[in-house]
């Protein structure tokens, strides 16, 4: 009798493990959007950094200069180094993001798609503060299938709610082209 109960529990555990492993869709994509930048972009950035740094030095804001230099290095690194390919997976239990972190559907809110240039991005909002949103690059041809698969577990929204940061970045990119 004891062996039967142990064996039954073991069978249940194996069945649950198989369910969590059932993959509905998976794909490889770059970890972030990448756009090869030209010399003009870097020249424009360097000029802006130089002017702002000089004005900051004249006003004695040396900490601001350090922040500007650090951010400019980040922009350079992200513009010069191509992203790695990562693996994304949608299962019946949740989403495996960038081949590592698993997010169960209970921790996710809604999903939507955005397009910028030639790239289509699957955006999934989380209930946690960090990360507030998961970004996964997808092929445009798979958008319908992803919508169908995720629609069974999460709500789809046509237009996401814009945060203050989203509005500010859209406004800045509209008026300040760096290329």
Q: What is the pLDDT of residue 178?
A: 59
Q: What is the pLDDT of residue 169?
A: 77
CA angle 87, 146, 116 (to 5 degrees): 80
Residues 7-20: tens digit of each pLDDT: 444 444 444 444 44
Q: For each successive 10 residues of the chain (179 residues), what is the average pLDDT?
A: 44 45 89 87 91 93 93 89 92 88 94 89 90 90 93 90 79 70
Calpha distance 26→54 (Å, rounded): 49
- Residues 28 and 86: beta-carbon distance below 8 Å: yes
Residues 138-162: tens digit of each pLDDT: 999 999 999 999 999 999 998 887 7
Calpha distance 51→54 (Å, rounded): 5
Taking each helix axis from N to C end, the angle separating 62-80 and 39-58, rounded to the nearest 10 degrees, works out to 170
Calpha distance 52→45 (Å, rounded): 11
């Amino acid at each position: 009798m004891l062996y039967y109960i142990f064996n039954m529990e073991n069978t249940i555990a194996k069945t649950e493990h198989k369910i969590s492993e059932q993959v509905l869709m998976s794909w490889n994509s770059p970890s972030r959007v990448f756009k090869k930048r030209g010399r003009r972009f870097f020249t424009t950035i360097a000029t802006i950094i130089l002017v702002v740094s000089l004005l900051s030095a004249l006003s004695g804001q040396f900490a601001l200069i350090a922040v500007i230099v650090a951010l400019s290095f980040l922009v350079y690194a992200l513009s010069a180094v191509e992203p790695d390919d990562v693996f994304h997976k949608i299962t019946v239990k949740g989403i495996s993001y960038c081949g590592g972190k698993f997010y169960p559907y209970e921790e996710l809110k809604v999903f939507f798609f955005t397009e910028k240039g030639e790239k289509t991005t699957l955006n999934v909002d989380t209930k946690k503060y960090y990360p507030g949103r998961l970004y996964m690059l997808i092929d445009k041809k798979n958008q319908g299938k992803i919508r169908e698969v995720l629609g069974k577990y999460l709500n789809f929204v046509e237009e996401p709610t814009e945060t203050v940061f989203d509005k500010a970045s859209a406004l800045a990119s509209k008026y300040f082209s760096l290329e």
